[in-house]
Amino acid sequence: MPRVERIGSAWQKRHIGHFIGGDWVASDSGRSYQNRSPWSGEVLSEVAAGDGEDTQRAITAAHLAFGGWAGAPPWRRQQIFLRAADILEGRRTEVLGALAAETGCGRHFGDVQIGFALKLLRQAAQLAYQPTGHLLPSDVEGTQAMAVRRPVGVVAAIAPWNASLTLSGRAVVGPLALGNTVVLKPSEESPYTGGALWAEILQEAGLPPGTFNVVTHAPGEAGVVGDTMLASPLVKRINFTGSTPTGRRLAEKAGRHLKRVVLQLSGQNPLIVVRDADVEYAVNASAYGAFMHQGQVCMCARRVYVERPLAEEFNARFAAKVANLPTGDPSDPATVVGPVINEWALALLDRRVKEAVELGARVLAGGVPAPPCYPATVLTDVPDEAEIAQGETFGPVVIVEAVDSAEDAVTRANASDLGLAASIITGDAHRGLRLASRLDAGIVHVNDQPVNDEPHMPFGGVKDSGWGRFGLGFAAEEFCELQWVTVRDQDRTFPF
């Protein structure tokens, strides 16, 4: 089993295999790849490089396990998820270290991820006891009608690296708790914390073999795994969290197979500071919302709109705070801005910031790479034609813009093709709610920043930020079929 052990300040190298049918197995091809730390460059593990054959094995295992798991009594499912939560809690220190080593995740966001995962498991434990349908009135005399919710079967889950523990957990726990079986494809950047770790925990908690499976793949080889999931008639649902371009391609292919998907995609996530806001609070909220996990969270604020009466003071105080955010080793509990995930991400950030400056933007803080980190960076006067202003730039860079009014900020925010999360900071909460109702976003927080999630909330976006909703309170709508069933208590009379 691919366990992680802390030895001083170094992580023990190990092999991570696929988890299929309750067993740890190598790829059919025998290939593997090296998983490296974004901070130190150290090889953390040799990881199985899967392909379509491995994926099909996992799908078959999940299909064979479905009947037994779907028919398991509620107490059994509840017991497994509660036990899994206790196991994760007991491994908190180890998991924090693994998140730091594998994804550059600092203590602040590591605590957020573990807290979410614990709530997720404990809330999932009660799903087995939720009503599975309801009675419906029928106009046909002597007929009793019911709408019955049933698990769909095999669910394919595709999860990203940036919040590896949280987003992989969210992708699999809800479907499992509803009686489905799951095949998970974690990112090649987080095969352990986004995949094998969940397999370890759920196996130890007593989840039956085949109910949950993990297939890993080498960099650049996600397509063959995803295509196999899409094409298999045994896979009934797919959920994906990642970028809009990848989600669009996946949705196009899913349409050819008439396969339902849940997509949580990119976000530009405006944060609006109204002129009656408390400036200190707005500065602190904006710093947290923009630079949590060095800006590598789908909900991070990418643009801060500030009404002009506050703009000069806000910019000065915000830039001063951002310039002093601790940057460096993610294993240091004081670190706020750790390494970005890889060299490609670092180069992209540097290129986009430099292009914006060449087009007339001003740098208020940061802006100079310090490999493997990119410092927390604040830009202003960014022209609309700059690439960094046109979509999601995944990293510790935020654009600040002065606006004439909060209504103008809403108009500018709504001009984006993306609509995941947004936030409004104001001294008048009722006005904040009125502004929230006009924002084209799936999530809006008034008097908070946009980086928020709870397991039972309807998490998801609008426009090019995806469709469908994650969240245990809404998982049944995505991962169950609704069956209309009737029964008659007497024979029916037919006209012929």
State which amino acid sits at residue 271. Answer: L
pLDDT in tens, 144-160: 999 999 999 999 999 99
The pTM for the full model equals 0.94
pLDDT band at 6 (very low <50, low <70, confident <90, very high): very low
Strand partners, 471: none
pLDDT in tens, 110-133: 999 999 999 999 999 999 898 889
Q: Distance (Å, rounded) from C-alpha 395 to C-alpha 374?
A: 8
pLDDT in tens, 28-68: 999 999 999 999 999 999 999 999 999 999 999 999 999 99
CA–centroid distance for 394 within its chain: 13
Q: Does residue 9 surpass a pLDDT of 80?
A: no
Mean pLDDT of the chain: 95
The pLDDT of residue 265: 96
Q: Which two tokens stand for residue 141?
A: 């005399």
Exposure string of 116-133, with b = 16+ CB inside 10 Å and e = fewer, is bbbbbbbbbbebbeeebe
pLDDT band at 1 (very low <50, low <70, confident <90, very high): very low
Task: Calculate mean pLDDT across residues 273-280.
Answer: 97
**Helices assigned H by DSSP within 91-138:** 92-103, 107-124
Q: Helices 74-90 and 197-205 meet at what angle, rounded to 10?
A: 130
pLDDT above 90: percentage of residues in the chain? 94
Q: Does residue 105 surpass a pLDDT of 60?
A: yes
